[in-house]
Structure 1
Amino acid sequence: MVRLMMILLGVEYLRARWRGVMVAGVVSVLVGAALFIDALDGVLYFPIAPFAWLLLLEGLATLAVAWTGMGGQRTLRYVKGVGFCITAALVLSGFRHASFILSMVFATLFLADGLLQIASAWVVRYRTWRLAVAGGVLQIAIAIFLYQPYPTHYKGTVPYCLGLVLMFAGWNLLLLAYRARRLAVNPAVTQGGAAALIASAVGAAQGKAAKLAQTVFDGPPAPHERAITVHVWTPVGSSRAEARRQPIIDRYIAAVDRDGVISTGHAALESPERVYISLYPAVEIDRNPDEFARTLRATRENDVPGLFQPDYATESKAWCASTRQVRIRNYDPLRLDSFWQRYREDTTYNLTHRNCSSTVSHALEAALEGATPRVWGHGWLAFVRMLSTPELWVAAQLRKRGQTMAWTPGLTLDYARALSMLADPRPTGWARMLRVLRVRMLRRERRRERERAHRGEGSPHA
């Protein structure tokens, strides 16, 4: 999450506020450590009940406005609201086995995430795969700690988890402050190579970007609005023959058609400034299942020559139209152009390390660097609003999956959607709900007036 926050806030913004971020990090770590230690003896001094009530209120409030969301935003709000309400209900119910149930749920989540991270790092073998394995081992250790009853017989589950959340959040803030203090350019986008550094340097030379006139956008950009477009060909949508439906797998990894041919999909990025970023292997990679597993490793022996498609019209005509599009208004064309000028010098293609999806994701990050201050200004409001947006956590998790496993068209699609909610903020749930209710009340009143006029009763305001 640290790198994603650096991308969205920008180095200039963070360098001016690194002391405040560091203080917040220290306080979060200390409070989390104190809470974790307090729970070790089974006698809690921390008031869990007020925390549970706050969790319940937040869950209910989220469910109340969840229907106002759009697409994935609506699903995320429902999942968050239901999860918060169930957790709070178990804590407040006094049910004998509530702590045991929560321990099993939290431990299973840690265990599944740790195993997935280790397995994907071992298969793909990207440059920092050993660090990913170490992180997976840490998550498994936390899962084991939550599974076994020592030392509190599961009574400390909630404060344990809350303490861990506060400690991890504080540690991330400390890393954010330390890096922002020392760096002149944003390292968060260096996965794109030298091009990302150049793009960041160009942005730094510009100084503080002007605040956008509009701070809330009610929906995606209209066709006539200036915006970058992320094109995604999903594995199922781009399959040559009818695909065998495999939930999740054909959404995020690959689809297999009735002839046994594997389709991984494709991703590209297009801007109004005639920048079109679409990396493709110069020679078609063997998609035979027996050979496909060998090409998954992000090692140099799997590097092949690649080529960049000239534009969307040419690519879609030669293949097919993209099946999904995500458009974002709030981007920096200079950073994007600088990224593209340097990135295109290397045409190497690697199925898991440098593919179409990773290229688009890195280009999107370069284009959105400093996007949050451009919307909310350069005060602390930008920092608070970004942290309070649920899509930040979603985008961070997707970015983690892309970095530790491999960027796929499905991950890039969801990542672009989450970033669009952060770069082009939508109205808050309550504001949107009140506006919808107001419109409905006006429509109902107008309908009643028409009915009265039709009956000849006249308008009540006459």
Structure 2
Amino acid sequence: MVRLMMILLGVDYLRARWRGVLLAGASSALTGAALFIDALDGVLYFHIAPFAWLLLIEGLATLAVAWTGMGGQRTLRYVKGLAFCVSAALVLSGYRHGSFILSMVFATLFLADGLLQIASAWVVRYRTWKFAVAGGVLEIVIAVFLYQPYPTHYKGTVPYCLGLVLFFAGWNLLLLALRARRLGVNPAAAQGGLAALAASAAVATGVTGVTGVTGASSVSSGIGAKLTQTVFDGPPEDHEAALTVHVWTPVGSSKSEARRQPVIDRYIAAVDRNGVISTGHAALEAPGSVYISLYPAVEIDRSRDDFSRLLRATQENDVPGLFQPDYATESKAWCPSTRQVRIRNYDPQRLARFWQHYRADTTYNLTHRNCSSTVSHALEAALEGATPRVWGGGWLAFVRMLATPELWVAAQLRKRGQTMAWTPGLTLDYARALSMLADPRPSGWTRAWRMMRTRVGRWFRPRRTREL
């Protein structure tokens, strides 16, 4: 989540507030370490109830806006909201076996996530797969620690988990703050292959973080121009200039009728009645003749026998690729995109620099450098610094971003894309989540109030008519 926050806040915002980030990180890390150590002897000096109430409020807030999501985004919201509410209820109720239930649930989640991360890293073998395996092993160790009752007989489950979350979040913020003092390149963007791009841009412009927004000029001091509108009722209209993410879903792009396989055909691939595998496609379009769509120059044989070998992100699976000229040409040769996500608040200058650098290499790899990873990296480059542009350069931008449920959703999707492989399904949900952060919608509470007021008005209107 920290890397995603770095992208959304931008280099200039972080560099201007590194002391505040440092203080927040130190406070979080110290609190987490103290909470974890305090739970080791089974006698708690820290009161867990306030944290449980915060967890309950966060869960209720997430559930209140869950219905506004789309696709997997809505599912993740409901899962997060229910998990937070149930966990808080077990803590606050004082139920005798509540700690045991939470320990089993948390341990199982850590175990499942660790095994999934290790398995995907072993199969895909991307550049940093060994670090992913180490992270998976650490998650399994934490799961074993939570499964066994020593030394607190499950009473310390909640303090353990809360302490770990606070400690690692604080540690990441500390690293971020120490680097932000002289930060010239966003490390989160550089992870997507933009290090040389950002460095060249810094040399060319003489300043870091020159931003621009559709319909708004940039501010040379860094933060970027604040948009005149901070809350939007919905996605951009057709006449509005906006960035568009096009996604061809595996089922929608299958040549023949696809066999329905829930989750698999949504995020991985669809198999038609002839046994041919379709992985779908993703592209990004923006005003100004920017169209990013990477495709293999020669169609890859995706039969069942060769598909497992092609999943490895190694050099032997690199093939020549090509970039499609524009959406009209690609959709005419194939078919129109199945889903579209449009975003107003993006930086066309950063996107153009990314595209100028990225298109110099036409290498295609099914899992490491494919259409979806290309679109995801381009989207991150375009949205760098989006949060201060819409909410201003103060701490309100930081707080509002943390309070937005889509931040958690986008962080989980980004983790899956980075540790496994970016697919059109993941890119679609990732773009939807980022669109809610870049172009904020009214909160769930606001929408609920509007809906209730509308329904009450409709209920009273016929009554007033009868009285007249």
Band of TM-score, shorter chain: over 0.9
The aligned runs of 1:75-94 (5 Å cut-off) are 75-94=75-94
Q: Take 1:176 and 1:391, find their aligned partners in 2: how far apart are those partners?
A: 22
Q: Match for 1:432 among 447, 450, 463?
A: 447
Structure 2 unaligned spans of 5+: 211-219
Based on CA coordinates, which of the two structures has the bigger radius of gyration?
A: 1
Q: Aligned residue for 1:144?
A: 144
Shift of 1:383: 0.8
Percentage of pairs with the same residue = 81
Report the CA distance shift for 1:446/1:429 in structure 2 as closer, same or farther (over 3 A). same
Q: Take 1:62 and 1:55, find their aligned partners in 2: how far apart are those partners?
A: 11
The aligned runs of 1:308-327 (5 Å cut-off) are 308-327=323-342
Shift of 1:364: 0.4
Report the CA distance shift for 1:99/1:254 in structure 2 as closer, same or farther (over 3 A). same
Q: Take 2:310 and 2:58, find their aligned partners in 1: how far apart are those partners?
A: 46
Q: Aligned residue for 1:69?
A: 68
Shift of 1:75: 4.0
Shift of 1:192: 3.1
Cα pair 1:200 1:335 within 8 Å, conserved = no
Q: Take 2:376 and 2:127, find their aligned partners in 1: how far apart are those partners?
A: 18
Cα pair 1:219 1:426 within 8 Å, conserved = yes
Cα pair 2:185 2:198 within 8 Å, conserved = no
Shift of 1:55: 3.0
State the Cα deviation string for residues 237-291 of structure 1 (Å, max 9, x = none). Answer: 1010111111111111111111111111000000122210000000011111111
Report the CA distance shift for 1:68/1:435 in structure 2 as closer, same or farther (over 3 A). farther
Report the CA distance shift for 1:242/1:425 in structure 2 as closer, same or farther (over 3 A). same
Cα pair 1:35 1:159 within 8 Å, conserved = yes
Q: Take 1:235 and 1:195, find their aligned partners in 2: how far apart are those partners?
A: 32
Cα pair 2:65 2:443 within 8 Å, conserved = no
Q: Take 1:339 and 1:85, find their aligned partners in 2: how far apart are those partners?
A: 42
Cα pair 1:195 1:340 within 8 Å, conserved = no
Report the CA distance shift for 1:70/1:200 in structure 2 as closer, same or farther (over 3 A). farther
Q: Aligned residue for 1:195?
A: 197
Q: Take 1:197 and 1:445, find their aligned partners in 2: how far apart are those partners?
A: 63
1:357 equivalent to 2:372? Answer yes
Shift of 1:447: 3.2
The aligned runs of 1:55-454 (5 Å cut-off) are 55-63=55-63, 65-66=64-65, 69-72=68-71, 74-190=74-190, 191-193=192-194, 194-195=196-197, 197-198=199-200, 204-205=209-210, 206=220, 207-449=222-464, 451-452=465-466
Cα pair 1:235 1:250 within 8 Å, conserved = yes
Report the CA distance shift for 1:373/1:18 in structure 2 as closer, same or farther (over 3 A). same
Q: Take 2:463 and 2:69, find their aligned partners in 1: how far apart are those partners?
A: 30
Counterpart AA for 1:128: T
Counterpart AA for 1:334: Q
Q: What is the RMSD of the two structures over their aligned residues, measured on CA atoms?
A: 1.8
Cα pair 1:36 1:164 within 8 Å, conserved = yes
Report the CA distance shift for 1:272/1:405 in structure 2 as closer, same or farther (over 3 A). same
Q: Take 2:144 and 2:162, find their aligned partners in 1: how far apart are those partners?
A: 17
Counterpart AA for 1:130: K
Cα pair 1:267 1:356 within 8 Å, conserved = yes
Shift of 1:302: 1.0
Cα pair 1:192 1:363 within 8 Å, conserved = no
Shift of 1:199: 5.5
The two structures have a TM-score, normalised by structure 1, of: 0.94
Shift of 1:68: 5.8
Report the CA distance shift for 1:263/1:199 in structure 2 as closer, same or farther (over 3 A). farther
Report the CA distance shift for 1:291/1:80 in structure 2 as closer, same or farther (over 3 A). closer
- Higher alpha-carbon deviation: 439-448 or 153-162: 439-448
Counterpart AA for 1:431: T
